[in-house]
Amino acid sequence: MMTRLSTSLMTLLVLSTSFWTATGTASAQSPAFYKEKVLPILEAKCFDCHGPKSELKGGLFLGNREGLLEGGESGPSVDPDALEDSLLLDAINYGSYEMPPDSKLPDEEIEILTAWVKAGAPIPKEAEFERPEGHHANPATLVTPETKNYWAFRPVADPLVPQVTNSDRVSNSIDNFILQKLEAANLSPVSPAEKQKLIRRAYYDLIGLPPTINDIEAFVNDESDRAFEKVIDKLLNSPQYGERWGRHWLDLVRYAETNSYERDGTKPFIWRYRDYVIKSFNEDKPYNQFIKEQLAGDEFEPPTPDSIVATGYYRLGIWDDEPVDQKQALYDDLDDILLTTSQVFLGLTMNCARCHDHKIDPLPQKDYYSFLAFFNGVKRYGVRSHESVEDASIGPIAVNAEDRKRNDARNSLDRELAEHDRKINHVDRRLQELMTPPEKEDFQAVEVRVDIARKYVGKGLSQKLVSDYAEAVRRRQEILDTRPPEVAQALMVKEVGKTPRETFILVRGNANVEGARVEPSFPSVLSPPEPIIQTPSMTESSGRRTALANWIASDENQLTARVMVNRIWQHHFGRGIVGSSNNFGNIGDKPTHPELLDWLATRFMQGGWKLKAMHKLIMLSSTYQLSSQSSQKELAADPANNLYWRFNMRRLSSEELRDSVHAANGSLNLKMGGPSIYPIIPQEVLAGQSRPGAGWGNSSEEERARRAVYIFIKRSLVEPLMADFDFADVDSTCPVRFVTTQPTQALSLLNSEYMNRQAAVFAGFLKKKAGADSAKQVELGLTRITQRRPTRTEVDRGVELIESLKKDGVPDDVALKYYCLALFNLNEFLYLD
Amino acid sequence: MTESNFCGRTRREFLWQTGAGFTGTALAGLLSDDGFLDRQTVAADGQTAWKNPLAPKKPHFEPQATSVIFLYMYGGPSHIDTFDYKPKMKGMDNKTIEVKTFGRGGHRNQGRIVEPRWNFKQYGECGQWVSDLFPHKAEMVDDIAFIHSMTADSPIHGSAMLMMNSGKILSGSPCLGSWTTYGLGSENQNLPGFVVMLDPRGGPISGAKNWSCGYMPASYQATIMRSKGTPILNLAPPEGMSRETQVKLLATLDQYNREHQATRQDNSDLAARIANYELAFRMQTAAPEATDISQETAATQEMYGLNGEKSGTFGRQCLLARRLVERGVRFVQIYSGGNHNDANWDAHGDLEHNHNLHAAETDKPIAGLLKDLKQRGMLKNTLIVWGGEFGRQPTAEYAKGTGRDHNSYGFTMWMAGGGIKGGTSVGTTDELGSKAVEDRFHVKNLHATILNQLGFDPNKLSYFYDGLDQRLVGVEGAQPIQQIIA
């Protein structure tokens, strides 16, 4: 039985009466109506945020008629052509907006405002207020010739290499640009780094691993002019280079292997994307090609296995499988892709223009949605179920029609196989209940199963069931024998079809309030060409992303090359020429050496967008080879080293730290590629999961000693050592990692199970290699940790500790282990000069 | 972003070299910086002088609260069965009515009423209605301010918990505790500034995302503290290592590190790392001391329900929370409920069974915490927050049974202490409790209130990230709930 608790009918009756008495339409146009009825409501309920003394939330001013008609970021409050549909009425009736937000106006007040708006919302002149000051548009945010002339939006120049006085400090043109500014500031660079320090720096920079003492001594003893160049070439050709530099890229694209939220489910096959990145760096793939593969590799004609896997780029973000509002979630996901793409490739914070025009840069809201339109054919990662993810985001790495046919055939056979398995399992279960123990024994062999089943016709199994069973077993075997080999699967981008969704400007970013329709176009401040969109013939997609990729990867793009050479510089020197490497806009850092940045960008493009040549160019400069030692005058004048009078010291990243532990104790496993590894995570940390241990696998000890880049990245469960040493936050793009110094790091390096286990391995290694003599053990240990021959004092200090512990009754092996633990805590181990 | 120099050295090195060393005082006081923290772009240069990110900092204005204890009722307690009295539902059990709801079961327009299962009585001078679920807390209502008109953006646990903890339904933003330590630092450098205690049945869904520092540096991450065994991960030296051995090891390490630093005086990170070993060593003693509740009298332990069969665990955690706050910890969050289904307040099946269990586990401990803080004079500057990620619907989720689905349209939370006006309540839901109707408040208003009590203008406490000055209350901003502020 239906019962109405609500008294709304009652209210309605009462209100109808008051409506006629209080708000006759005739009087609603009169000045008195406004002053006596309307204004008091506005003053009490609206002016706090939209009145003459407010900060004008959303840019809306309700104090005069101009303000009403002009409206705020969501559009005009009152629409003279369709008064009843005015946004003001929508908002007070809690439609697409809910105003005032704390509680809905009483019905009689809504009636008054409705009558007033319907009467055309007149405001008598004498009752109008002045719009408060300071709420006018910032000229820097308008697209004008002036704002187009902002340094980062100008075409890349090829500046002349400046002349310098101190030309004996010049190894290549980079030094000219650096020295010019130092000389202008009357400062000098410090002396070159010692060779041992330089090679250690180079190893970590390029491959993220320490050199051996033999590598170092060979370099120190090589007196040829090309000694360092040879080291660089060797490192650039090492496969470990891609693991180190690929990791920088993974930080940018927020690579993670799960989706976050309640289930934090695994992203199938996403490790192939990591392998793709590492391989691309190792192959020295031109950066413009790397861009095109990730943004539109599926639309290549024909695609390649790499170009398909590369589009996993679109699948790396967080995914709420149970969103509050599906439509809003679609736009949240697209925003995540747009944010990452615009910041990573272009150094633009276009995401700031989602709800309104950008407040700092000349990026109108319209440009945001025109840019979003390039992605608006992309299917959402999935809708709730795993099957939906398979449908939207998983596919075969099939590069031609034959592969695709093979894959389709295999899929259909797999579905048939599942059906046969179901039937077979059903009968097998029944048989388990019926069979005698000796029969159960025989049943282990596949060949006899049908015969055994036949014996039970009429004794628990029907004739039909058994003949179906026999057929299923036969067919199953046939399929297994003849089905085409599997086509590997990958997580990839897929579009809704040849025709993408229409794109509208979303008022205040609200997915349910559509404004004007827009077509794909590039940010207008860059004076871009019209996008050329051609529908691809081989894939069910729009071709829009290809147009985007071609523009981003073009030599004409003002930002792409600049942004990338800046990142290369950043990872060599610890800070980019533009410090805010994801933000080249007005609120970002200004370049310390804009001419150098352009000079490098030009060389980069002229060299075919190849990274390895840039590494070499940078590392062969005198600037890169400077010592990290201080100099009093320069430190006082330029303490942050903005002018590069010396090289910046740096701490190892979390990956470098872990890899170095394994390199030192001899356990490092350099196996490359494939699915991720799972370090042991302490119970205390697993206890934070709603199902402790869920979603975390096991790896053998040998696998766990692989490089840290292969550690499984679970968004809700970050490996604690990595977290303590400032691993990138993986929910959004990470251009620069933090370097924190905190006591939990000391606790973890001293007390964690992991470090103590590694110290024991180290002790075993030293005993094996150096024999029983403490001094030899200590000497070898220090050498492997610092990559230099230790001094006598340093060795004695270690021996002293071991002896003293032994005297206290600590067993020999344990004493050595504790010394090894101390070695892993040395500042010299964790810091590079 | 560089600190002023003393004869070419930074303040920090000056202290170190003049023998001041890195005592707690030095770390806490002298090295604190007036401004807020580094922008992300300068964090990695190795040149900017090291500053202790957790040194105590002054907020925008004189704070009412210096610490927060957030009692998180994971799963979402039913407001109409606890604090939001709905007399008109009496006698309506099983009647089908029209009411708009939105939960994990999606949007519905009608449902079968589940009449509140507990009797309500009025308590205290303020006359607040409380159900029989909470006989102990009921005695404390004159110290509590109830917000009956809470609303949130999501009725789904994953996103709703992120909303309650970090102000956004999207994953990736720092949580309340991180904002607090970012803004205020910590009073006690020997203990973590931000502590989370979990239900022994498991963490909440999304695990560490609920106490993540998001885009802020790891200095503001939460520390999980256990109420039994070693309280903090990696706190205890490895098994078999005596204190003497550890001291010897640290002394040797210190010699190596000082020698290394001698020629690199200008890099304050190196000195900071050296100091951090001293700090870590002190934490090894300080944290076990803080968690040693045997120092508490039998009467105190009884007050927290430590001897109760069901209330022992949560009681212990509440008592720990007081001891931590007493020692200067800024932000403590305790989860009541963990894991899935009825291991927390998520009463989809048998409402009575579920809420009787979780109320019995928490009622006496929470009342004890309030009483104890009050008698020690600590309640006035300790802000207590109680609630879950949402409330529950007035109607049944299924054709049979008393289970209620989630409700983010209206629910109750309460606050006490820290400058909150006790004995008040604000806002109402409709007569079914299906949605907030008067003085509606959003989770952001709750966050704004917490920040306000800690001395911040919630619309000014910001952190620059992704091209924006990010705020806990979002770019739109939010006002504190003035009605409950003393």
Sign of CA dihedral A495, A500, A501, A503: positive
Average pLDDT over residues B68-87: 98
Average pLDDT over residues A251-256: 98
Give the angle B475-B477-B478 at the CA atoms, nearest 5°. 155
Chain A environment of B264 (Cβ under 8 Å): 628-630, 649, 833
Sign of CA dihedral B190, B193, B199, B204: negative
Contact between residue B321 and residue B334 where contact means Cβ atoms under 8 Å apart? yes
d(CA A546, CA A552): 10
> Which residue from A738, A822, A830 is facing B218, i.e. has the nearest CB?
A738
**For B163-189, what is each residue's pLDDT tens digit?**
999 999 998 899 999 999 999 998 888
d(CA A372, CA A369): 5
At A10, is the secondary structure helix, strand, or coil?
helix
Kindly determine whether residue A738 and residue B40, on different chains, have CB atoms separated by under 8 Å.
yes
Using the Cβ of A692 and the Cβ atoms of chain B, whether some distance falls under 8 Å is answered with yes
Chain B environment of A3 (Cβ under 8 Å): 92, 95-97
Mean pLDDT is lowest, of A80-89, A818-827, B150-159, B398-407, for A80-89
Mean pLDDT is lowest, of A309-313, B37-41, B226-230, B440-444, for B37-41
Task: Return all residues near A141 (Cβ < 8 A) that are at least 6 apart.
Answer: A147, A357, A358, A359, A360, A361, A362, A363
Mean pLDDT computed over every residue of chain A: 92
Kindly determine whether residue A574 and residue B44, on different chains, have CB atoms separated by under 8 Å.
yes
d(CA B176, nearest CA chain A) in Å: 17
Burial A303-314 (b: 16+ CB within 10 A, else e): bebbbbbbbbbb
Average pLDDT over residues A36-58: 90
Kindly determine whether residue A260 and residue B206, on different chains, have CB atoms separated by under 8 Å.
yes
> What band does A445 get if pLDDT is binned at 50, 70 and 90?
confident
Percent of chain B with pLDDT over 70: 90
At A496, is the secondary structure helix, strand, or coil?
coil
pLDDT for B20 equals: 32
Nearest C-alpha in B relative to A721: B234
Beta bridge partners of B134: none
Mean pLDDT is lowest, of A434-443, A463-472, A663-672, B429-438, for A434-443
d(CA A723, nearest CA chain B) in Å: 7
Percent of chain A with pLDDT over 70: 96
Q: How many CA atoms lie within 13 A of A187 on its CB side?
A: 24
Q: Is the confidence at residue B275, as pLDDT, over 80?
A: yes
Chain A environment of B2 (Cβ under 8 Å): 639-640
Kindly determine whether residue B226 and residue A687, on different chains, have CB atoms separated by under 8 Å.
yes
Q: Is the confidence at residue A325, as pLDDT, over 60?
A: yes
Using the Cβ of A327 and the Cβ atoms of chain B, whether some distance falls under 8 Å is answered with no
pLDDT for A139 equals: 77
Task: Return all residues near B276 (Cβ < 8 A) that are at least 6 apart.
Answer: A741, A742, A743, A745, A746
Enter the tokens of residue B331.
Answer: 């932000």
> What band does A137 get if pLDDT is binned at 50, 70 and 90?
low
Chain B environment of A751 (Cβ under 8 Å): 234-238
Kindly determine whether residue B437 and residue A737, on different chains, have CB atoms separated by under 8 Å.
no
Using the Cβ of A752 and the Cβ atoms of chain B, whether some distance falls under 8 Å is answered with yes
pLDDT for A66 equals: 87
> Which residue from B170, B224, B226 is facing A332, i.e. has the nearest CB?
B170
> What band does A6 get if pLDDT is binned at 50, 70 and 90?
very low
d(CA B338, CA A807): 49
Nearest C-alpha in A relative to B256: A826
**How many angstroms separate the Cα of B97 from the Cα of each of A414, B114, B347, B404, B423?**
49, 11, 21, 15, 34
* DSSP codes joined into one string, A323-379: -S-HHHHHHHHHHHHHHHHHHHHH---GGGGSSSS-SSSS--HHHHHHHHGGGTTBP
> Rounded to the nearest 10 degrees, how much is the dihedral formed by the CA atoms of A361, A367, A369, A372?
-90
pLDDT for A28 equals: 87
Beta bridge partners of B425: B146
pLDDT for B24 equals: 31
d(CA B204, CA A262): 9
Q: Specify which of A685-699, B51-65, B357-371 reaches the highest per-range mean pLDDT.
A: B357-371
Chain A environment of B174 (Cβ under 8 Å): none
Percent of chain B with pLDDT over 90: 80
Chain B environment of A831 (Cβ under 8 Å): 267, 269-270
Bond preceding residue B87 cis, omega within 30 of 0: no
* DSSP codes joined into one string, A605-639: HHTTS-HHHHHHHHHTSTTTTB-----HHHHHH-T
Contact between residue B378 and residue B325 where contact means Cβ atoms under 8 Å apart? yes
Pairing of strands B411-416, B382-387: antiparallel
pLDDT for B306 equals: 96
Candidates B234, B239, B266, B267: best to mutate against A (most CBs of A within 10 A) is B234
Nearest C-alpha in A relative to B191: A743
Chain A environment of B476 (Cβ under 8 Å): 57
Enter the tokens of residue A165.
Answer: 């006085």
Give the angle A352-A355-A360 at the CA atoms, nearest 5°. 35
> What band does A705 get if pLDDT is binned at 50, 70 and 90?
very high
> Which residue from A320, A636, A826 is facing B159, i.e. has the nearest CB?
A320
pLDDT for A369 equals: 98
Kindly determine whether residue B209 and residue A715, on different chains, have CB atoms separated by under 8 Å.
yes
Kindly determine whether residue A814 and residue B240, on different chains, have CB atoms separated by under 8 Å.
yes
**For A333-371, what is each residue's pLDDT tens digit?**
999 999 999 999 999 999 999 988 888 899 999 999 999
At B471, is the secondary structure helix, strand, or coil?
strand
Contact between residue B177 and residue B168 where contact means Cβ atoms under 8 Å apart? no
Sign of CA dihedral A54, A60, A64, A67: positive
Task: Return all residues near A61 (Cβ < 8 A) that are at least 6 apart.
Answer: A50, A51, A52, A67, A70, A72, A131, A132, A135
**For A462-521, what is each residue's pLDDT tens digit?**
999 999 999 999 999 999 998 888 889 999 999 999 999 999 999 889 898 899 999 999
**For A165-193, what is each residue's pLDDT tens digit?**
999 999 999 999 999 999 999 999 999 99
Kindly determine whether residue A349 and residue B467, on different chains, have CB atoms separated by under 8 Å.
yes
Q: Is the confidence at residue A797, as pLDDT, over 90?
A: yes
Residue with tokens 């060389």: A603
Any idea how long chain B is?
A: 486
Of the candidates A79, A360, A234, the residue with the CA atom closest to the CA atom of residue A616: A234
Pairing of strands B128-131, B441-442: unpaired
> Which residue from A640, A723, A818 is facing B249, i.e. has the nearest CB?
A818
d(CA B460, nearest CA chain A) in Å: 14
> What band does B48 get if pLDDT is binned at 50, 70 and 90?
low
* DSSP codes joined into one string, A19-88: HHHH--TTGGGSHHHIIIIIHHHIIIIIHHHHSTTS--GGG---SSHHHHHH-BTTB-S--TTSGGG-HH
Enter the tokens of residue A304.
Answer: 């390649």
Candidates A716, A717, A725: best to mutate against B (most CBs of B within 10 A) is A716
Angle between helices A560-573 and A287-296 (to 10 degrees): 110
> Which residue from A4, A746, A827 is facing B261, i.e. has the nearest CB?
A827
Enter the tokens of residue A744.
Answer: 């939990």
Candidates A49, A98, A331, A689: best to mutate against B (most CBs of B within 10 A) is A689
Q: What is the DSSP letter of B37?
A: P
d(CA A519, CA A58): 26
More confident residue, B347 or B8: B347
Chain B environment of A691 (Cβ under 8 Å): 202, 339-340
Chain B environment of A757 (Cβ under 8 Å): none
Average pLDDT over residues B400-408: 96
> What band does B219 get if pLDDT is binned at 50, 70 and 90?
confident
d(CA A138, CA A359): 7
Chain A environment of B440 (Cβ under 8 Å): 101-103
> Which residue from B95, B238, B255 is facing A756, i.e. has the nearest CB?
B238
Q: Is the confidence at residue B45, as pLDDT, over 70?
A: no
Q: Is the confidence at residue A8, as pLDDT, over 60?
A: no
Task: Return all residues near A313 (Cβ < 8 A) that are at least 6 apart.
Answer: A253, A273, A294, A295, A493
H-helix or E-strand spanning residue A229: helix A227-236
Any idea how long chain A is?
A: 833
> What band does A134 get if pLDDT is binned at 50, 70 and 90?
low
787-816 of A, contacting B, C-beta below 8 A? 794, 797-798, 800-801, 804-805, 808, 810, 814
Candidates B10, B52, B99, B171: best to mutate against A (most CBs of A within 10 A) is B171
Q: Determine whether B114 is exposed, middle or buried from the number of CB atoms within 10 Å of its CB (0-12, 13-18, 19+).
A: buried
> Which residue from A648, A805, A821 is facing B46, i.e. has the nearest CB?
A648
Nearest C-alpha in A relative to B278: A743
> Rounded to the nearest 10 degrees, how much is the dihedral formed by the CA atoms of A734, A737, A741, A746?
80
ipTM for the complex shown: 0.85
Pairing of strands A650-651, A489-491: unpaired
**For B2-39, what is each residue's pLDDT tens digit?**
333 333 333 333 333 333 333 333 333 223 333 323 33
pLDDT for B1 equals: 30
> Which stretches of A459-593 are DSSP H helices?
463-482, 544-552, 560-573
Rg (CA), chain B: 24
Nearest C-alpha in A relative to B107: A324
Chain B environment of A648 (Cβ under 8 Å): 45-47
Q: Is the confidence at residue B108, as pLDDT, over 80?
A: yes
> What band does B47 get if pLDDT is binned at 50, 70 and 90?
very low
pLDDT for A22 equals: 45
Candidates A684, A755, A821: best to mutate against B (most CBs of B within 10 A) is A684
Beta bridge partners of B396: B404
**For A541-585, what is each residue's pLDDT tens digit?**
999 999 999 999 999 999 999 999 999 999 999 999 999 999 999
H-helix or E-strand spanning residue B371: helix B351-375
Q: Is the confidence at residue A16, as pLDDT, over 50?
A: no
Chain A environment of B253 (Cβ under 8 Å): 822, 825-826
> Which residue from B47, B206, B219 is facing A264, i.e. has the nearest CB?
B206
Kindly determine whether residue B159 and residue A724, on different chains, have CB atoms separated by under 8 Å.
no
**How many angstroms separate the Cα of A462 from the Cα of each of A420, A434, A466, A473?**
18, 13, 6, 17
